[in-house]
Each structure stands twice: as C-alpha cells, then as structure tokens.
Amino acid sequence: MLLIIACAIFFTEVKDAIFAMKSLWIKWQIRAMVVASLCVQLLLVNLVNQRRCSRKRSVYTATIVWLMYLFADWLATVSLSSLFKNSKEQLTSPLVVFWAPFLLLHLGGPDTITAYSLSENELWPRHFFGLCFQIGVALYVYVKFWTINTTTLTYLAIPIFIVGIIKYGERVWVLFSASDAKLRKSVFTTPTKSELEHVPSGADQQRVVVQIDDYLQDKGIHRKYRHLHRAYLSYTMFRPLFLDLKLRIYKQLSDLFTLEHMTMGEAFKLVEIELGFLYDLLYTKIPIVLSRIGVILRSICLSFLFSILIAFSIIVGNHGYPKVDIAISYLLLVGAIFLEIYSTVLHVSSDRGILRLTCQDNKLFKAIGSSLISVTKTNRSEIQSMAQNSLIDYCLQAKSTKFALVRSIFDTEDFVGKYGNTSWKDVKDDLKKFIYDHLLEKWKKYKQSNFDYECLIQLLNERGHNVLLEKHPEEDLGWSICDVEFTQSLLIWHIATDLVFRVDHPRGLVGTFGPYCKISKLLSDYMMYLLFMSPTTLPQGIIKVRLQDTCAEAMSFFHGELDHQKIVETLFRIGTENRAVLTPMGTQTKSVFFEGCQIAGRLQELVLTHHWDHEEKWEMIARIWLEMLTHAASECTWKEHAKQLKQGEELLTRVALLMAHFGLSKKIQMVDIPHELAAEGYQPEWDWDNLDRLAYYLV
C-alpha cells in the first residue's frame, strides 16, 4: 500500500515538473530560438573559414559545419512557424513582431557559405520557393501582431524586413548563378564565329599576341598585384573545365598560360589563388557581394541596420518593455551589424576583393589593396599538407582495436577506423619541385610532338611503365602496371613501397634518408588515402571489393601477431604461391596482398642484380608514384575536383590544374588554324579584356 502511495506521489511530482517545464518553455521558447539562431550564424562564419583553409581535421570541421548549416535553416524556420501558430493571447512579448524579420535575415545565411555542396546550387528553385514561403510567413506574423504594438515599433520592423528579403534573396541569386546551367550559359553567351575569326588586313596582320605580363603593365597594374590579376585571368580561361567542357586552343596561343617561365613556388601559388576564385564562385556570396549591385545592396543593409539601432535606442525606453526582451533586441541588432561588417572585411580582404580594389583608378582604393596584400599575404600561401594512410598500419590497427565487432556492425565501411589511421605530412618544397619539374618535362615532350593529341594520351596513361622500361628493361615488373587496372596497380605498389620502406629505414641504408625515399613514401600513402577516403577521385574499378579482400587477406595473415618488424620479415619470404595455403578453398578473392609482397621482394633483388645503390631504387619508385599521381589527376573529372574544394586543400586538384596550364589534360586540345584561314594570312587574336571570346573554342 505504501509503495502505491509513493508511486502516486512520485508521478504527481513528475507531472507537475513537466507542466512547469512546459510553461517555462512556452514563455521562453521564442526568446531562446531567436538567440540560438544568431549564435549559429556567428559560429558558421568562423567555422567555414577553417574548413576552407586546411584539410587537417577536415572531417570533424566539415561535420560541425554540416550540422550547423542544417541547424541554422531549421532553427529559423521552426521559430517562424512557432510565431505563425501562436495566437495573440499566447504572445509573451510585444517585441516579437520586431524579432520576426531577423529570422528572415538569418535564413539568408552568412556570406561565407551559401552552399555546403555543389548539389545545393542545383536546388536553387527549392530555395526560391522557400524564400517566397518564408516571406509570406513573416509578413503574416507581422500583420497578425500589428495591433498589439505601438505604431513606432511596427514601422521600425519594416526596414528589417527589407534587409531580410535582400539577404535571403542574395542567397537564392548566388545559388542560381553558381548552378551548372547558368554557368554554362554564361560561358556560351559570346560573339559569333564570324566576329571572332574575321580576317585582318593591313596593319592588323602585323599584330603580335600580347603576353600577359605586358598586358598587365599596359593596364597600369603594379607589380605587387600582378600575381592576383594573372591568376584571375587564368581562372577565367580554365573555369569552363570545371563544368566538364572541352577547351580548344590554337597552337599559336599555347604559350600564353604555360608556367614554363615561373618558379615552382610561383606556379603553386598561382593555382592556389585560382582555386580560391573558384571556391568563392561555387560556395559563397563573394562574387555577387563585390559586384556593383552587391555593393549597393550591402550599403542599404548596413545603413538600415545602423538607423534602426539608433532609432530603437531612442524609443525603447518610453514603452516599459521587459529588460530581457530589450537586451535580446539589442543583441539581434548588434549581431546583425557585426555579421555585416565582419563579412565585408572578409570580402574586401579576399583575393577577389583586393583584385577589385587594385583595378580601380582611385589611389585610395589602390592604397587599401596594397595594405591588405601586405597584411594577408601569409594566408595565400600554396598547399601546406597532404593526408597519409598506410594499408598495413590500418590492418594492424584493426586487429588490435577494441570493440572491432561492434564497430563493424554500425560502421560497415569502417570510416572511423580509416580516418583514425590518417595522418598529415607537410608538403615540402622538394616534393613540389619534383612534381613541377616532372610536369614541365612532360610538357616539353608534348610540345616536341607539335601538340599531337595521341602523344598527350600516351603521356597521361604511362602510369610508370615508361620508368620501368628506362630503369629496368626486363618485363618482370611491368605486369603490375600494364596488365592490371589502376586501383589494383595502386594497391600492389603501395604494399610493396610500404614493405621496402619498413625494411630499409630501420637499417639506415644509403638512400633511405634522401629525398626520393621520402617522396615515395609520401605519395604512396597519399594515394592510399585517396583510395580509402576519396575513391571517387580515382579511376573507377572494383575498388570496394578489391580493397576489402586485400585488407581481409592481410589481417588473416597477421593473425594475432603485432610485432611489426617480424611481420615485415615474414612477408618478404612469401609470394603468390603461398596464397593456396593461406586462403580457404573455393574462395574467389580480388586481393592483391601477396602480389604486393612479391613486388617488394623483387625491388630488393634489383639492388643486387643491377648493382644499384638504394638511392637509385627509391628514385625509380618515386617516379612511378609521380606517374600514378598525374594519371589519377588527369582521369578524375573536373566536377569531382570542384567538389573537393569544400574539403580544403587537396594535392590532386592542385596537380590537375598545374597540368591544365601545361595543356596536359584530355579536356584541352591544341589545334591548328583552319587551312582556309591560314591561306589568307589569319593570325589568331587574343583579347585579354574579353576572355569570354575564348568560348568559341569550347566543344
């Protein structure tokens, strides 16, 4: 009996507590949501910059940005819906009608992120209908609660409505402008063929194609700013590639964008700035905000917000509003002004902002641009780091990880384990120079062939076979590159490289502390990272099955053994003939684990049979990996490269754009002038002021 009474009392207390919490939530619901919405906006502005600057910890940052991005829209929408459903009697503060337009402003999102991914740009119609619907809801709330507010406060909300509509409208406008259809249309809105290929006469026949540096000098662009202007012109030319359009250029104009006369550092910095321009176009409001109409709209928004802040501070004391509600109103106003000013500073100090300032004839603008370049130059350095992943380390880690069975149920792809095995290494100058010199050498071969397209295809598809023929004419290693698909070759050579490194490095052999050994290990582990974490960037094959089978075979071989050095020594003594013993009968495996062990053993034998030192061996391995990297960069679609921008710095994308500058892309074809035009003395014209004229060469 006592137990029943105690339970009844307990449930009564719980019921009263729930009722009290419900009453408290009804009272503070709108206040909490409005403040939370502002906080999310402030967090997003900061987090998005971190996501863009570096790929280190990118998964954690990207996850938080994704959650905040979704939560921001959801929170503002739910807040407006709550106001929509509430009756006048449920209204807890007369200032609510003043807060409603701020939710519309928050739906416009921060200027630094309009789309989380490229697919968002294609969904601009959904956002347009969302804009219309949310404006309707906000106006309904405004009219519904009109009668309970003083006339002055009611009118003060109107400018905030205008600012909210502008901000939300900007977001839809940017999404539409960055959609694939709109970008393609902007590329093809150009003069006709007859306008482009008019046959010159007289003095025009003697014209000379103006090089980019001469053009910038004639335009009066100071040397300090030329790298930005050069990058923007290059970006304008290569932007259609990221729409998966082909680019055809007359051979006579092939030298205009080549990096032949640049240093390695200048070349990497150039492509970094170009990709920054592309990121701004696809994922932010910066191109729209820095346009003439964008500057006007931003000026209107700021002037309205400052005016409302001043007017509100004058009249608010005369109506006896609750202090909490007054504080929230001030917080919303000051927060909106801060976001506008902070975003403006980010825009002006961005590469595109400095470019706009230094294009002006006004000396004050140029002085501001010069100061910003000096202040922000450290932020525009080339790629800093690259991801690393080792298959053997991953398999050993998986064998020793606790709760492996539980993880295998909830994380079937073992994403957590793969990312947990990821490390980061600095991209040093020796690696950049190795890549740059390699691409320059390929470009020279391509140029010597008179830009023959078949030669280009051959150069891009070598994958390291040319290195084997040069260093080791026998064909006992060639099968691992020529006779298998790319991802299979990648896995074989990654296992081989890792094993050879684990044998050579502890012994301190000559060459293991040289640049080629380090580069080989860096590129091998980087390509393995792409196979693990970004398989869509690599040539397609049966990647998933082959990777799973290889990992399974490796883990079954390791058993419970965790002594790394003992494992490595054992692996060098086995080959593919041991698979029949170690693999259950009837198993049809796509694993290449033992093939990798076989190649590792053969690489060590080369040192003895060819009387090499270990430096020569590592040079060959490094060159093979570089060939694989350039092949992967050329095979990855440009759309996929554009998608990778949201994750931060990605070496593969930088290499692909460097290759495009050298014409080393299947999407770029160097063509001869048509015979009819050549017979009449036609010389191709290049108009730096109207680079969209190049659109005629797109097919």
- DSSP states of 518-545 as a string? HHHHHHHHHHHHHHHH-GGGS--SSHHH
Q: What is the pLDDT of residue 549?
A: 86
Beta bridge partners, 250, equal: 671
> What single letter denotes the amino acid at residue 200?
P
- The structure tokens listed for 114 are 């309009």
Instruction: List, in order, residues 6 or more apart from 225 with CB less than 8 Å away.
Output: 354, 355, 358, 369, 370, 373
Cα–Cα distances (Å) from 224 to 77, 294, 378, 625, 670, in that order, read: 47, 27, 14, 37, 32
Q: To 5 degrees, how large is the angle CA 348–CA 352–CA 354?
A: 55
Token pair, residue 555, equals 């883990």
φ/ψ of residue 117, rounded to 5: -140, 170
Mean pLDDT by runs of 10 across the 699 residues of the chain is 65 57 63 88 81 62 82 87 69 74 89 87 92 89 70 82 93 93 78 41 46 76 82 89 86 79 90 93 91 92 93 78 86 94 87 82 58 53 84 76 55 66 89 95 93 93 88 74 90 93 76 84 95 89 83 76 65 58 56 88 82 86 96 94 87 95 91 77 72 53
Q: Which of 146, 156, 499, 81 is nearest to 311 (CA)?
A: 156
| 3 state SS of 16 | helix
Place of tokens 């696809």: 282
pTM confidence score: 0.88
What pLDDT, on a 0 to 100 scale, did the predictor assign at position 516? 92
| Beta carbons within 10 angstroms of residue 307's beta carbon | 12
Q: What is the pLDDT of residue 590?
A: 78
pLDDT (0 to 100) of residue 683: 72
Unique residue bearing structure tokens 């009722």: 19
Q: What residue spans define the domains of the chain?
A: 25-178+284-358, 184-258+667-697, 385-426+461-648
C-alpha 441/C-alpha 446 separation (Å) is 9
**Rounded alpha-carbon distances, angstroms, from residue 72 to 113, 211, 420:** 12, 48, 29
Q: At what angle do helices 515-533 and 429-448 cross, to 10 degrees?
A: 80
Q: What is the 3-state secondary structure (H, E, C) of 116-166?
A: CCHHHHHCHHHHHHHHHHHHHHHHHHHHHCHHHCCHHHHHHHHHHHHHHHH
**Residues 6 or more apart from 34 whose CB is under 8 A from it?**
79, 99, 102, 103, 328, 332
The pLDDT assigned to 400 comes to 54
Helices 564-571 + 391-400 axis angle, to 10: 130
SS3 (DSSP) at 253: helix
What SS3 state is found at 477?
A: coil
Q: What is the pLDDT of residue 296?
A: 93
* Residue 227 in tokens: 């790298």
Rounded distance, CA 104 to CA 163, Å? Answer: 9
